[in-house]
Chain A
């Protein structure tokens, strides 16, 4: 009965590859997010979707493309992976408009070699 689940938990890949991370929430929330946590543990928002519509798009390389097939799912596709993309990526969701109480998944640790 996991509330926000993301897969895979670990992802090791070579530079230049394309990869996707999937996220699903069963909380009935309208808003979903992707956050990036760097090696210093700083959490930075990347994207936010409200009812499948993109509402926050921070300064993120366009190699990162979120896709929301329905309001319970928000996937993150990354093209042409670079070493600097290595980080932990968290999916989150909230009921309120962007910025309400956000509930996080367990994270995907992406390592680009």
Chain B
């Protein structure tokens, strides 16, 4: 089945720094989604992307749908302590009943 690659598994940054995460796929995707999960909670949708090349922002977060349709990145600017959590990319390939596949997630730590 489809696989999404997210790496590294963990990232450690200083408060105020920008951080970029990317996600790659072996297949072409029609949809890219980015989620954040905090301890004890379910994943929360941050940004949804539907067109190749699309660049979308949500506050300090910006995500892009790669033009090859096989990758996406998420950028967090001016990080703050509450940005800590697990960031998942998810994608849906072509096909009517294709399923949403998740990457393994990146655990982000922000040092004050």
What residues make up the interface of A, taking CB atoms closer than 8 Å to B?
4, 40-45, 48, 55-56, 90, 92, 94, 97-107
Q: A43-B102, A45-B101, A99-B99 are in contact. List 15 more A-B contacts (CB 8 A).
A: A41-B104, A41-B107, A42-B102, A43-B43, A43-B105, A55-B97, A56-B97, A90-B43, A98-B97, A99-B98, A100-B31, A100-B92, A104-B42, A104-B43, A105-B42
**Is B84 positioned at the interface, with any CB of A under 8 Å from its CB?**
no
Quick check: A41 and B105 within 8 Å, CB to CB? yes
| CB closest chain-A residue, reference B104 | A42
Question: Would you list the 10 A-B pairs with minimal beta carbon distance, nearest first?
Answer: A99-B92, A104-B42, A43-B102, A99-B100, A104-B43, A101-B48, A106-B42, A107-B42, A99-B98, A41-B105
What residues make up the interface of B, taking CB atoms closer than 8 Å to A?
31, 33, 35, 37, 40-45, 48, 86, 88, 90, 92, 96-102, 104-105, 107
| CB closest chain-A residue, reference B98 | A99
Q: Tell which of B41, B43, B96, B101 has the most Cβ of chain A within 10 Å.
A: B43
Quick check: B41 and A107 within 8 Å, CB to CB? yes
**Residues in A whose Cβ lies below 8 Å from that of B48:** 101
Measured between C-beta atoms, what is the minimum distance from B2 to chain A in Å? 11
Quick check: B86 and A45 within 8 Å, CB to CB? no
Q: What's the Cα separation between A45 and B97 when bound, in Å?
A: 13
Quick check: A106 and B92 within 8 Å, CB to CB? no
Measured between C-beta atoms, what is the minimum distance from B76 to chain A in Å? 19
Known: A43-B43, A103-B45. A98 touches B100 (CB 8 A): yes
| CB closest chain-A residue, reference B47 | A101
Q: What's the Cα separation between A40 and B45 when bound, in Å?
A: 20
Q: Which of B45, B97, B101 contacts A101 (CB 8 A)?
A: B45
